[in-house]
Amino acid sequence: MSGYLLAAGGDPATPDAGLSMTPSLALVLAIGVLFTTGVYLLLERSLTRVLIGFILIGNGANLLLLVAGGRAGGAPIVGITPVEQMSDPLVQAMVLTAIVITLGLTAFVLSMAYRSWQLHGHDEVQDDLEDRRIARIAAANQPSYEDTDTEESGSLDTEAPTVRDETSTLGRDDRRRRHPDGGRDE
C-alpha cells in the first residue's frame, strides 16, 4: 500500500491548481458500491430488478465518467468560475445526455415489464425456447432443419437420366423424349 498517498481534501474554493487528476476516494467507493449492487440485481430474472440494477450501474457509470474526466471544480460557466478552476465541461455534456437517455431506457424496460406481466402474469425473463430446442437437437445429433436436398440419395449414375434440358425436338414427336416429370421432385 506504499503506493497510495492519501491526500487531504482540497478547499472547495481553491481546487488544485493546474490539472491535478488525483481521484477522490469517496467517489471511487461510490462507484464500487453502485456497480456491485447494480450487477447483483442485473443478474436477476425479474425485469423490475434488472431495471433497478441497470439504473444503479448507469449512476455508477456516470460517476466513473466524471472521475475519469478529472478534478472537481467550479461550475463551468464563463464569468462565474475562472477558467482554470472549472470542472471539465466535456464529460458533463456526455453525462447529461446519458442521464436523459437512462430515463428513456427506464421507461422502455418498464413498459416491457408491464407487457410481460400482461401476457404471462409475471415480469420474469424466461429462457429462450428456441435456444432450448437447439440444445435438445444438438444433444440428440439430429439435423437442425429439414433439408431434403442434402440427404443422401442416389449416385451420379442414377441421377443423371433424371436431368434433362428443355431442348428443341429436332423433328421428332414429343412422346418418347419428354420425361413426364422432367426429373422434378416428387
Contacts of other proteins in 41-70 (CB under 8 A) = 41-46, 48-50, 52, 55-56, 59-60, 62-64, 66-70
- Min separation Cβ 133 and other proteins, Å: 9
| Of 17 and 144, CB closest to other proteins | 144
- Residue 127's SS3 state is coil
Q: Which of 63, 68, 1 is nearest to 32 (CA)?
A: 63
- Min separation Cβ 17 and other proteins, Å: 14
Contacts of other proteins in 65-104 (CB under 8 A) = 66-81, 83, 86-97, 99-104
Burial (Cβ within 10 Å: 0-12, 13-18, ≥19) of residue 56: buried
- Residue 64's SS3 state is helix
- Min separation Cβ 173 and other proteins, Å: 8
| Of 17 and 93, CB closest to other proteins | 93
Q: Which of 14, 18, 19, 146 binds other proteins (CB under 8 A)?
A: 19
| 17 contacts other proteins (rule: CB under 8 A) | no
163: which 3 cell numbers?
Answer: 436431368
- Min separation Cβ 32 and other proteins, Å: 4
Report the chain's C-alpha Rg in angstroms.
34
Contacts of other proteins in 103-132 (CB under 8 A) = 103-108, 110-115, 117-125, 127-132
| 26 contacts other proteins (rule: CB under 8 A) | yes
As a whole number of angstroms, the distance between CA 60 and CA 27 comes to 9
Phi, psi (5° rounding) for residue 124?
-95, 145
| 170 contacts other proteins (rule: CB under 8 A) | yes
Residue whose grid cell is 437437437: 137
- Residue 35's SS3 state is helix
Residue 93's CB is within 10 A of a number of other CB atoms, namely 11
Q: Which of 14, 18, 146, 151 binds other proteins (CB under 8 A)?
A: 151
